[in-house]
Amino acid sequence: MKPRVTIVLGLQWGDEGKGKILDVMAAEADWVLRAQGGNNAGHTVEIGKEKYVLHLVPSGILRSDVSCLIAGGAVVDPAGLVKEIEGLTKRKIRTRGRLHLAAQAHLVLPHHRAVDQGSEKRRGHGKIGTTGRGIGPAYSDKAARVGLRAGELALPTKELGRRIRERVAAHNHAASAQGWDKISATRTIREIERAARVLRPYLADGVMLAHQAVASGKRILIEGAQGTFLDVDHGTYPFVTSSHCTAGGACTGTGVPPTAIHRVVGVLKAYTTRVGGGPFVTEDGTLGHLLHGMGREFGSTTGRARRCGWFDAVLVRRAVQLNGVTEMAITNLDGLDGLEKIPVCVGYRLNGKIFREPPVEASAWAKCRPVYRVFEGWCEPTTEARHWKQLPRKARTYLSAIAEMVGAPLGIISVGAGRDQTFRHG
């Protein structure tokens, strides 16, 4: 049977609108698998007047006939996941029997949050601006081979308690020297035990589920979290998250082999945003002021105002190459509706030279200045457009030029947060 697996991931620094696009695409899917990241993610889906912000649960959960898996590449804060499940249940979204948690996923424990927050404090000026959710320390423990995995939530209480106590003792031993808060083992065990009681029925072998779905020809979406330039290998290191947010990470995170992937949808904004520290060549305070004034671009996880800037074609061209993007989903076109001039970055100027590829070092990246090509704005609302032809001519020119510059075809266009404010190119 021909596999029908599509990867949907971010091409910038996260918050590209993946949640919205996934929700739209899930109308024609059987499974949504969340590949990596943790509750540092915030994926917003607006359905009519209802607004959902999903952190760990795949966006497919809002379509009642779709099954969802939090795959082994993700890191799961047990109490956070329980809270999310309870929130969905209150809103009449059924999760039992539809949502599965891979036993392979690593756990984020309270001491990971203490390390994350303590380390950020110590970094002072050079801080990464993490979400403080313990993501980096949980992935560090995974790589150091001392992490606990979701499957261990099914252990007898005594053994699970012993394993947690061991981790907390090691943390507390190092805490004073490192400037981290100490953690109460008893409180941690109580918290994890309570979460384990709720989560046990959701546990499954994530790889087996994914392979069964692939083998039976199910339509599968792999949901990426964060974005290409937050990838620990390919992002603006060290201003990155600790997982692989690129297409390769979608495969390792789920166990779905690369040969089963037939489509890679890259989600991106018609401009650029980023939250936290790190280089951002096209950052523009005036654009940020304008978008924030419209009530847009505040983080869905932390509420922080996102940094805003112009579209960066140097960045997105690299992302298209890295992920093998077969089509793009461009969101937030309407954010540019009121502008007379719209610059797009086509090159980086560094030490008197112009580059078409981003530099390797974040410090060099921070010194790059944008070379802009300026487009005419369309100065009319796009939010009512439901077909490509209904977009203003200048908006079509802008989008087509972007696609040409970055080397990937336009697939989906989004002109508002709602499900219906979405259409295909052409």
CA separation for the pair 115, 122 (Å, rounded): 10
Neighbouring residues of 123: CB distance < 8 A, sequence distance ≥ 6: none
The residue from 74, 135, 270, 320 that contacts ligand IMO (CB under 6 A) is 135
Please tell me whether residue 15 binds ligand IMO under the rule CB under 6 A.
yes
18 binds ligand GDP (CB under 6 A): yes
Nearest to 388 by CA among 347, 423, 355, 341: 423
Burial 373-403 (b: 16+ CB within 10 A, else e): eebebbeeebeebeebeebbeebbebbebbb
Give contact residues for Mg ion (rule: CB under 5 A). 15, 42, 300
**54/214 with CB nearer Mg ion:** 54
128: contact with ligand IMO by CB under 6 A: yes
> What token pair was written down for 20?
């919205």
Please report whether residue 114 would count as binding ligand IMO according to CB under 6 A: no
Pick one of ligand GDP, Mg ion, ligand IMO, none as the site partner of residue 230 (Cβ within 5 to 8 A by kind). Answer: ligand IMO
CB of 96 to ligand GDP, least distance (A): 25
- Residue in 422, 398, 424, 420 with CA at minimum distance from that of residue 410: 424
User: Which one of ligand IMO, ligand GDP, Mg ion, none is in contact with 275 (Cβ closer than 5 to 8 A by kind)?
Assistant: ligand IMO
Q: Using a CB cutoff of 8 Å and minimum separation of 24, what contacts does 62-65 make?
A: 62/23, 62/26, 62/93, 63/23, 63/26, 63/27, 63/29, 64/94, 64/98, 65/30
Indicate which residue of 23, 30, 43, 111 is catalytic.
43
**246 in contact with ligand GDP (CB under 6 A):** no
Q: Is 275 in the site for ligand IMO (CB under 6 A)?
A: yes
Q: Is position 15 annotated as part of the catalytic site?
A: yes
Instruction: Residue 339: count other Cβ atoms within 10 Å of its Cβ.
Output: 16
**Which position among 129, 324, 377, 392 is part of the footprint of ligand IMO (CB under 6 A)?**
129
Of 213, 2, 190, 234, which is closest to residue 102 (Cα–Cα)? 213
392 interacts with, out of ligand GDP, Mg ion, ligand IMO, none, CB within 5 to 8 A per kind: none
In this structure, how many other beta carbons lie within 10 angstroms of the beta carbon of residue 52?
19
Nearer to ligand IMO, 196 or 316 (CB): 316
173 is catalytic: no
- The residue (of 230 and 250) whose beta carbon lies closer to ligand IMO is 230
Classify residue 127 by burial, with Cβ atoms within 10 Å: 0-12, 13-18, 19+.
Answer: middle
Among 4, 398, 415, 425, binds ligand GDP (CB under 6 A): 415
Positions marked catalytic: 15, 43
Which residues sit at the interface with ligand IMO, rule CB under 6 A? 10, 13-15, 40-43, 128-131, 133, 135-136, 225-227, 230, 241-242, 275-276
